[in-house]
């Protein structure tokens, strides 16, 4: 789903603009090398599940879950308070945001702004986890561009209702240059 790649990029770019003093990273760094400057924010797409089928024209929907991990320097004065406030500001920013794409607005599930102590490699940082979801509408561009608020021309490149041969699927993946986790989802959704 090309919309996942576009959505991930839009989230990162808007977070960079909104929080210019936060180092928004494109992927997980090698933590043993250290991260500079701090605070840093890592945004990732973590899963996709089927929605409630109330999408455009009665089509299928999917719920994409994103996580952002805010890493702060534990040696800074008042770091617990500062990191917590920044995590709340980030959560407020992603909640209700559609990134000017044809996706549902960001929604925060219950209890998903929390101190993250489960990432062992990041024990030397203060880490806060922010998790949110977006509803995705896998449909043709022509149906997206018929009055759907926040629609972007070309936001979705494939009609998932259309059956693709294995050769067409391989060509579509090659054209998108998908990272491995998106490629797995692409295969699961198309087939």
- Whose tokens are 């896998």? That residue is 138
Question: Comparing C-alpha atoms, which of 8, 51, 30, 80 is closest to residue 160?
Answer: 51
Helices 180-190, 2-18: axis angle to 10 degrees equals 140
Interatomic CA distance for residues 27 and 42, integer angstroms: 6
Q: In 112-179, which ranges are continuous DSSP H helix?
A: 141-144, 166-176
- Whose tokens are 């959505």? That residue is 7
3-state DSSP: the chain helix, strand, coil percent, rounded to 5? 35, 20, 45
Phi, psi (degrees; rounded to nearest 5) at 50: -70, 140
Can you list the pairs that 161-165 forms with residues at least 24 positions away whose Cβ atoms lie under 8 Å?
161/59, 164/190
pTM over 0.75: no
- 2-190 has which fold? STM4215-like (3.30.2000)
Q: Tens place of pLDDT for every residue, the chain, 191 residues? A: 678 889 999 999 999 999 999 999 988 777 777 788 999 999 999 999 888 766 555 667 889 999 999 999 999 999 999 999 999 999 999 999 999 998 889 999 876 899 887 777 777 889 999 999 999 887 533 334 334 333 333 333 333 333 344 455 555 555 555 444 454 444 444 44
Quote the pLDDT of residue 56: 54
CB 103 within 8 A of CB 8: no
Interatomic CA distance for residues 102 and 145, integer angstroms: 9
Going by C-beta distance under 8 Å and a sequence separation of 6 or more, which residues neighbour residue 101?
3, 6, 7, 10, 150, 151, 152, 155
């Amino acid at each position: 789903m090309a919309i996942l790649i576009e959505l991930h990029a839009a989230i990162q770019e808007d977070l960079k603009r909104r929080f210019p003093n936060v180092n928004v990273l494109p992927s997980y760094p090698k933590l043993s090398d250290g991260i500079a400057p701090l605070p840093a924010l890592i945004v990732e797409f973590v899963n996709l599940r089927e929605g409630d089928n109330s999408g455009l024209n009665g089509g299928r929907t999917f719920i994409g879950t994103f996580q952002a991990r805010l890493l702060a320097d534990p040696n800074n004065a008042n770091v617990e308070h500062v990191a917590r406030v920044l995590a709340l500001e980030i959560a407020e920013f992603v909640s209700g945001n559609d990134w000017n794409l044809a996706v549902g607005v960001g929604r925060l599930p219950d209890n998903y702004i929390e101190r993250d102590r489960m990432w062992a490699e990041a024990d030397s940082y203060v880490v806060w986890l922010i998790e949110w979801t977006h509803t995705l509408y896998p449909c043709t561009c022509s149906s997206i561009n018929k009055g759907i608020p926040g629609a972007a021309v070309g936001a979705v490149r494939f009609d998932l209702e259309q059956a693709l041969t294995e050769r067409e699927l391989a060509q579509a993946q090659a054209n998108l240059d998908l990272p491995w986790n998106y490629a797995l989802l692409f295969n699961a959704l198309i087939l």
